[in-house]
Amino acid sequence: MRRLIALILLLPFALLAIVFPLTAQDAPPLFATNTPPVDLPAAPGMPAMATNTPIPTLRPVFRPDAPFEQYALRRWDENTFVGLILDQVQQLQDGDTARALGIRLLQNELARRFPGAPHDPTAREALLSAMLNAPRGMLDLRPVVRPTIETALNQMQVTFDQQNSLETNGFALTILPANFDGQGAGDAVIRTTYPVGAQDSAALFYSDYTIATVGTDGRIHLVSAAPNFPAAPLDDVEAVWFEGVRDVNGDGLDELAVSQTITGEINTDLFIYGWRNGSAVGLAAPGQTIHFHDALVWPPASQPLVVSENRVESAAWNCLADRPVTWTWSSNFYRAPETLAEFVPQNTLGCQLYASEPLLSMPPAAAQALIEQLLPQADQNDSIAAVRAAMLIAMLKVFQGDINGAQTQVNLLAEMAPPDSWAAAQAKAFQDGIRQSNSTPLSLCAALQNATPQGACDVDAVLARVFADQPLRRDESLDAQAARLGLTVQAQVTITEVGHLDRQAIHFDLSAPDAWWAFAPLADDVYTAERISPPPAFTATATPITRLETPRAAFDALLAEDNPQQALAIINTAISTHSTAPLVSSGRYVQAVSYEATGDRDNARRAYFSLWQDEPESVWGALAAAHLEKR
């Protein structure tokens, strides 16, 4: 307890709980998400489905063993194509993003060739079992899970007359009755999770919310949606949440609202689905996504939906800004205004300190007093800003000559900081630097700056104050004066411009790589210092593109929009723009698949063959080979 009190006095902090426990300061803390209101009962886990029925697989030879003219495009049947996907899924290892992307492209091709496949229950069961046992979050399970759930619901003869919870083959299902199509009872929201009993999103291998209806034949159908109902975990989608079933637009029908949280994003994406011509349609205007940060407050039907959207103003200080966005129902869609409100920084310790920047350009005593004046306003959400302020105060003490006070504060902070945290790394950099025989305030500052992202010091901000308070003199060499500050001149060049006095441009060893200082002889005895961009001779030249990456838009066109013609156009434009850089393998494969999908069989055959011939042992070469057969 004495150490805690001492640390409070040294930092100085009003609330120790604000500081510890501590998380790494690489990004703002995770925000709370809306908890689904439908609770799932705990249930024992069940194993994934298994099957002993063999599924056809394709393992082509490593290299073409005949000339190009002897190969033709493969004549696929559904089971063979499903077998190819199964083979790739079984080979998938954690981190093998190329194979995972290849599987995604194969799934898209399967849907185009054989809509609704796999139709064979045995084949679907085998594929689903393999996908559930693959590395978590790397594969899109939706095309296989949803037909499986639809079949199970019909086999169990489920009715949608009341809320219900069921289990089937390791999946937990929650049924919430609704009326989406205006035909009265017979619709529902289906929450699907795997495995049974998993409650926390981090423990789930699959989670989604879909709309189910009962057709005139009495069978249950999970309807399609555009955009697709989100699922998690998948790529950077961490979790999906139920936001409600209600009539939000005043059309007398229920709409389904679900959201998804994305890794590294502070806002949540909201999807509102309504019933249109036998399928679910997203009700946000085309090209727009509803982002929100705080809990949703649903207005009365047909009234505008007002959400709060956030933006990171400063990751270092964990300062966020808010703005309200009003989504109005108009012409069958929710639409945002053409002119949005300005973001306003939150009234937090981090935002107040960020607004005071550059603190290191102020006199150290004044900067320390300002920070200590603001610290008592901190609350439990200000831990990142409070810890950064503590490290900054330690450096300000160094600049004022209070080395012992700075060391004591940093040592206590190091003792209490969790391992691998931002504070622990900063404290270690300080402790290692202070032990160096040639340590200077600027070298300590550089050590903190370089130790982690958003280091607690900035050499060039300090130099701005030093050069303003104690200008370098003209009657002594710049090198010698820099040396007394603990700086070494790494590069120097004279800048000559018409109408201006010649200036000396210098890059110091502790400065950021792109930080140069110009010293102009504007006064008789001292130089006027100004931070400048690197002189032309020292400006880094753009590295030539040695290989052309596949444009993300090409993947989106093929996978999200099912538009192979657009995917081809995007790739061909990129190739013509960078004609000297070869297209990477994934792009060549997308190009070949798109040629085949658009009916250009000759170019598809050539593209598959050349990719196979060039990279026979790569994922993309193997997939290209699988699309050819010898005739």
pLDDT at residue 230 is higher than 90 = yes
Can you give the pLDDT at residue 12?
44
Cα(120)–Cα(117) distance, integer angstroms: 8
For residues 380 and 10, the model is more confident at 380
Cα-based distances in Å from 75 to 86, 113, 251, 593, 628: 18, 11, 48, 14, 9
pLDDT band at 381 (very low <50, low <70, confident <90, very high): confident
Can you give the pLDDT at residue 514?
85
**H runs (alpha helix) in 349-506:** 349-355, 364-374, 383-399, 403-416, 422-434, 441-451, 459-469, 478-484
**85-122, pLDDT tens digit by residue?**
999 999 999 999 999 999 999 999 999 999 999 999 99
Can you give the pLDDT at residue 98?
96
Cα(248)–Cα(271) distance, integer angstroms: 12
Nearest to 427 by CA among 398, 399, 406, 458: 406
Amino acid identity for residue 245 in this structure: V
pLDDT band at 57 (very low <50, low <70, confident <90, very high): low
Can you give the pLDDT at residue 537?
81
Cα-based distances in Å from 17 to 91, 386, 389: 48, 10, 15
What's 73's DSSP letter? Answer: E
pLDDT at residue 45 is higher than 70 = no
Report, as an integer, the average pLDDT of 583-600.
96
pLDDT at residue 2 is higher than 50 = no
Can you give the pLDDT at residue 30?
24
Can you give the pLDDT at residue 522?
92
Can you give the pLDDT at residue 569?
96
Nearest to 428 by CA among 411, 443, 442: 411
Can you give the pLDDT at residue 58?
62
Q: 123-132, 391-400, 507-516, 609-618: which has the minimum mean pLDDT?
A: 507-516
Report, as an integer, the average pLDDT of 603-628.
96
pLDDT at residue 462 is higher than 80 = yes
Can you give the pLDDT at residue 24?
36
pLDDT band at 61 (very low <50, low <70, confident <90, very high): low
Strand partners, 290: 270
pLDDT at residue 573 is higher than 90 = yes
Select the highest-mean-pLDDT range: 292-296, 332-336, 535-539. Answer: 332-336
pLDDT band at 5 (very low <50, low <70, confident <90, very high): very low
Q: What angle do CA 444, 446, 451 make, to 5 degrees?
A: 95
**251-269, pLDDT tens digit by residue?**
899 999 999 999 999 999 9
pLDDT, averaged across the chain: 88
Report, as an integer, the average pLDDT of 169-197.
92
pLDDT at residue 296 is higher than 80 = yes
The pair of structure tokens assigned to 94 is: 């954690």
Look at the pTM and tell me if it is higher than 0.75.
yes
pLDDT at residue 34 is higher than 50 = no
The four Cα atoms 320, 326, 327, 329 give a dihedral, to 10 degrees, of 170
pLDDT at residue 437 is higher than 90 = no
Phi first, then psi, for residue 528 (nearest 5°) are -100, 120
pLDDT band at 290 (very low <50, low <70, confident <90, very high): very high
Report, as an integer, the average pLDDT of 597-604.
96
Amino acid identity for residue 61 in this structure: V
Tell me the CA end-to-end span of the chain in Å, nearest whole number: 82
Q: 40-49, 423-432, 560-569: which has the minimum mean pLDDT?
A: 40-49
Share of the chain above pLDDT 90, in %: 77
pLDDT band at 498 (very low <50, low <70, confident <90, very high): confident
Select the highest-mean-pLDDT range: 292-301, 435-444, 563-572. Answer: 563-572
Report, as an integer, the average pLDDT of 286-290.
93
Coarse DSSP helix, strand, coil percentages of the chain, rounded to the nearest 5 percent: 35, 20, 40
pLDDT at residue 72 is higher than 50 = yes
pLDDT at residue 226 is higher than 80 = yes
Share of the chain above pLDDT 70, in %: 90
pLDDT at residue 433 is higher than 60 = yes
pLDDT at residue 49 is higher than 70 = no
**Residues present in the chain in total:** 631
DSSP 556-601: IIIIIS--HHHHHHHHHHHHHHTTTSPBPHHHHHHHHHHHHHTT-H
Can you give the pLDDT at residue 22?
38
527 and 474 Cβ atoms separated by less than 8 Å? yes
